A and B are shown apart, each in its own frame.
Chain A
């Protein structure tokens, strides 16, 4: 069995060796290319590559003398750093994603309570599910959970919406409804309440998994943080 394995290996090797010359031989363009390359300035990548090749050659030369030592020749530090750096980047990116866009398996009520605690109920009051239909044109029964607070005063654009969709296809329609709502509110206040218009323009929309959170308020970022924390 072992013999078969080594046979295979040598077969592969010879195949590889066969491959290599065929490639350059039958490829006039590749043969001509190196000349072309020398004429123009090498790109940074090529330069780095050259450096790497040169380093490798140096090491190989020194390694020949060191053959027989346990552990072999020293690692190419640059590559190691590169490798581990990429892993860190990936981990960091995933953590970032989790923190910033990850959804949650927590039930709606938990999130709702957590968000409600932070709301300033002086200026906004909770609507019934009919409110969702009235203001957003959406039917609350279609979704897994709805919490809507609208401003008590007609001079204020303050609003907080927390909604959990049943499936991801609904995210599009909810986002569309929110955009329409923003547009309508903007035209409601345009011209005579520029502060409110500014609030609307700075509104916060956060889609985390199946939770959608929309706030028009001067405390928008606080509410968003509370929401994000509660997930």
Chain B
């Protein structure tokens, strides 16, 4: 019996040789023959290209790392393989993939970021000092919570995330009297049963932005119009967002993106993309609706410096420091300001104090979503200019 087993055992082992070698060969040759892909729609990022061989990159081993990244990014069937992994993970009980929770009813939520205390202190201090040194310019701060905070009931059972409410409260405390604080948390809480966050994206919906805009009226010094004067239009119904790409969950879910246009008034705007030296006449970039990242329909995405001029009969000029959450918020502001200067500290490399002078800024607002704010380490550098 043992001999039989041994003999048969040998047969199995020898039998594996050909399939394994074929497998290796197929992948190897497949990878070599496959043309280099520049960009991955699914992952929404550009893929690594073949690295350049230089003496220094060879000596430090960087070339090998780059080559490995290149091979991984250009691997044949990468998207399929990724799908396979996510399916297996889900079968194994995973409710979280790559930092994204898949909640009940398929709501995707990003995990709450816990800030580096040192960096956070620096940022908050910089904001405070900026507000205080520009005391003639009323400054407001709108810190928007993320879906995992407001929609905590949707989180998968037993999932625990950090308490973003307390983190936001402590920022408010730190800033004290130097800024006008807008409480976005309670507003969104009140409306949490409506669709204020996208299901597959980390952004808030335009509806969510609208509610917070109404709340921010007193801080910003604007009389917000009644809801009836803004009407929503769906610009697309096939939106699949960043969280879906990041996690691999819900890739078949299609959502709607709305824009709110003021009824009746005819508002002309000129949007000047300062660094790119491009000007457009609309706050919306409809060409983005044909790409994967449809949220970029708002302002075309994130740019270092935007100068938005309106035809409104107003004298105020707003300076805004923001992340991508503000992109769908800005259209609500346009009826009230002559000019809105939009700065994204992740890309802006100029001198902020010059901006205040050059554009004759009268108001200032910081609009961030909590995760980006707590993960950021650009703000203090840009504000203090060092």
Interface residues of A (CB under 8 A from B): 101, 128-131, 133-134, 139-142, 171-172, 175-176, 179, 205, 207
- Distance in angstroms between the alpha carbons of A172 and B67 in the assembled complex: 11
Main secondary structure of the interface of A (DSSP, over half): helix
Interface size on B, residues (CB 8 A): 22
Cβ of B385 < 8 Å from any Cβ of A? yes
Q: Known: A175-B56, A175-B60. Is A129-B381 also a contact (CB below 8 A)?
A: yes
Nearest-neighbour CB distance to chain B for A202, whole angstroms, equals 13
A129 touches B119 (CB 8 A): no
Can you list 14 A-B contacts with CB-CB less than 8 angstroms, sorted by A residue number?
A130-B349, A133-B349, A134-B349, A139-B377, A140-B381, A141-B378, A141-B380, A142-B377, A175-B57, A175-B62, A176-B66, A179-B57, A205-B56, A207-B56
- Distance in angstroms between the alpha carbons of A139 and B60 in the assembled complex: 22
Cβ of B251 < 8 Å from any Cβ of A? no
Cβ of B266 < 8 Å from any Cβ of A? no
The 8 Å CB contact of A172, one of B52, B59, B62, is B62
A129 touches B386 (CB 8 A): yes
Q: Known: A141-B119, A175-B56, A179-B54. Is A130-B62 also a contact (CB below 8 A)?
A: no
List, in ascending order, chain A residues with CB within 8 A of B382's CB: 130
- Distance in angstroms between the alpha carbons of A142 and B346 in the assembled complex: 12
List, in ascending order, chain A residues with CB within 8 A of B56's CB: 175, 205, 207
Closest B-chain residue to A127, C-beta based?
A: B349
Closest B-chain residue to A212, C-beta based?
A: B60
List, in ascending order, chain A residues with CB within 8 A of B346's CB: 139
From A129, A130, A207, name the one whose CB has the most chain B CB atoms within 10 angstroms: A130
B66 touches A130 (CB 8 A): no
List, in ascending order, chain B residues with CB within 8 A of A134's CB: 349-350
List, in ascending order, chain A residues with CB within 8 A of B54's CB: 179
The 8 Å CB contact of A141, one of B59, B62, B377, is B377
- Distance in angstroms between the alpha carbons of A175 and B65 in the assembled complex: 12
A171 touches B381 (CB 8 A): no
Cβ of B89 < 8 Å from any Cβ of A? no
- Distance in angstroms between the alpha carbons of A128 and B380 in the assembled complex: 13
| Apart from the given pairs A130-B349, A175-B62, 15 other A-B contacts in the complex at a CB distance below 8 Å | A128-B385, A129-B386, A130-B351, A131-B349, A134-B349, A134-B350, A140-B381, A141-B119, A141-B377, A142-B377, A175-B57, A176-B66, A179-B52, A179-B54, A179-B57
